Amino acid sequence: MPTDSAGLTVRGSTVGLVVLAASCGAFFGFSISSMNQTIDQVGVEMSLSSLHQGIVVSALVVGAVAGCVAAGVLTHRLGRRRMLVLSGVLGAAACALCTVAPDEAALITGRFLNGMAVGATSAVAPVLLAELTPARSRGVMITTYQLAITVGVLAALVLGVYWGPGGQWRLMFAANAVPALVQAVSAALSLEAPGDLLARGRVEAAHAVLCATRGAAEADVEYERIVRVRSLTAVGVLRSLADPDTRLPVAIALGASLVNALVGIGAVVYYSTLVFTAAGVGGSSGAEVASLSFGLTNVAVSVAALGLIRRYGRRPLLTVGLVGMAGALCTAAWGLLGAGGAVAGPVTVAAILFYVACFAFSAGPVAWVLMAEVLPQEAGARVAGAALALNWGANLLVALLFPVVVGTPGVPARVGLVFVFFALLSLVFLLLLRRFVPETKDRTLAEVQEELLIRARRGRAGPGQ
């Protein structure tokens, strides 16, 4: 890659972006699943009640909500690249605190700070990757980020099985610090977002970054778009929703964040062992093996999703995925509610694995892609922060309420009814997708914004106008 007066080097290479996407995703995935199979050991060592175990687990999600909100405010001052450096450093420090935590209070504090770092990363990384990637590669790059999340989840599950029974849960947090540090370093070595450079008056540098990361024609179009929207006043979520021209893209971004969470994936990521135990899958050891199968399926299909998202559009993948998830959840519910006996376990495991596969090529990666592609630049950072806060807030509800609703140990009938509820939500999201969301595959960010503006104005004009 050529070097120019703006100081561009190989930092802007595709390899560098892949490392950044992979480290951000791995930090995210490992963090959310780091206590799936070790919370019992933590509870025994620290004499925690079931409620306090839930508080320790949920502290990360509460911190993530706060991190998303903070990222929406700080990104305007620091820029997206510096935000990822800061969140990586904070995440590594938080993991170090958890590793040496002498008591519950210190562990909760560390988990909260870790959550803040993860929340800020999740709010900033997809948008930065979208700005630094040409249209033809944008879907694949953000799907790489989602793939890394699944790899992080699987790594945490595997290490949990290995370290958990021996009471070595502190090593989980030490391992969690590794992707956080890689994120900080790779972000420090990456290019800055063109929009952030323009905000600081570095016009030539912004144009140079665009030329270095995509073809000349696309670079010129994107540059004109960023210059145009930078002349607008930055607005928040409520003003964006009130503005008829930005209401649709902001609503789609917020909806995408909820699709990612409210189809029920959190119940599997946080409580897969509980779910499989409720289904009678060979005791706790069998449930752990089933949880590893879920992690492997998630990774394998996420790899396949790299090709699928390049070949097919966002709408087809989401449509097939939502239908598949609804069917799988209903099948799992049937296994838990009606099948009974020896059938319940295999039916539930098979249905959950199919559900995870559908999520891994649809609501998992496509939600992040859509959010990054549809956000209007003038509201991008703040709406991204609000969207991810919604996502984490929904995950928090799942993390807190799922064990309360289904019981600990889980009551099969209750787990089945919760799955039916998530299936219905999946169908609601499907209807909204087919009605309001345009296709964005292989279109520049400028073209996506133009399409959304046309749709918004056509909707105000009414049919036949």
Distances (CA, A) of 366 to 32, 142, 326, 337, 376: 19, 8, 17, 31, 18
Spatial contact of 421 and 338, defined as CB atoms under 8 Å apart: no
Distances (CA, A) of 32 to 35, 36, 373, 399, 402: 8, 8, 25, 11, 16
**234 phi, psi to nearest 5 deg:** -60, 135
Spatial contact of 237 and 379, defined as CB atoms under 8 Å apart: yes
Phi/psi-derived region of residue 103, left when phi > 0, alpha when psi is between -120 and 50, beta in every other case: beta
The per-residue pLDDT for 233 is 45
Mean pLDDT (whole number) for 1-7: 39
**Distance separating alpha carbons of residues 16 and 23, to the nearest angstrom:** 11
Distances (CA, A) of 39 to 222, 268, 316, 344, 449: 47, 15, 39, 26, 45
**Distance separating alpha carbons of residues 37 and 44, to the nearest angstrom:** 13
Q: What is the DSSP track for 137-163?
A: HHHHHHHHHHHHHHHHHHHHHHHHHHH
Token readout for 23 is 């480290």
Residue given tokens 């996420």 in the structure block: 302
Give the list of residues 6+ apart from residue 145 with CB closer than 8 angstroms, or none: 21, 22, 24, 25, 125, 126, 129, 365, 368
Give the list of residues 6+ apart from residue 57 with CB closer than 8 angstroms, or none: 35, 39, 111, 270, 399
pLDDT digits (tens, 9 = 90+) for 321-340: 999 999 999 998 888 887 55
Mean pLDDT (whole number) for 151-180: 84
**Distance separating alpha carbons of residues 460 and 456, to the nearest angstrom:** 6
Residue given tokens 């600990």 in the structure block: 408
409: helix, strand or coil: coil
Token readout for 263 is 């189809």
Question: 245 falls in which pLDDT band (50, 70, 90)?
Answer: low
pLDDT digits (tens, 9 = 90+) for 387-431: 777 888 887 888 778 877 877 667 888 888 999 999 999 999 999
Closest CA to 148 of 295, 305, 299: 299
User: What does the radius of gyration of the chain's CA atoms come to, in whole angstroms?
Assistant: 22
Question: 106 falls in which pLDDT band (50, 70, 90)?
Answer: very high
Closest CA to 439 of 317, 323, 302, 325: 317
**Distance separating alpha carbons of residues 251 and 261, to the nearest angstrom:** 16
Residue given tokens 């008056």 in the structure block: 201
Question: 7 falls in which pLDDT band (50, 70, 90)?
Answer: very low
pLDDT digits (tens, 9 = 90+) for 335-362: 888 755 567 778 888 898 899 999 988 9
Residue 113 has pLDDT above 80, yes or no: yes
Residue 444 has pLDDT above 60, yes or no: yes
40: helix, strand or coil: helix
The angle subtended at Cα 340 by Cα 339 and Cα 343, nearest 5°, is 70
The per-residue pLDDT for 2 is 36
Ordered by where they begin, the domains of the chain are 12-191 (1.20.1250.20), 236-465 (1.20.1250.20)
Supply the pTM of this predicted model. 0.72
Residue 37 has pLDDT above 80, yes or no: no
pLDDT digits (tens, 9 = 90+) for 55-103: 888 889 889 888 988 887 788 788 888 999 999 999 999 999 999 999 9
The per-residue pLDDT for 413 is 83
Token readout for 129 is 């990757």
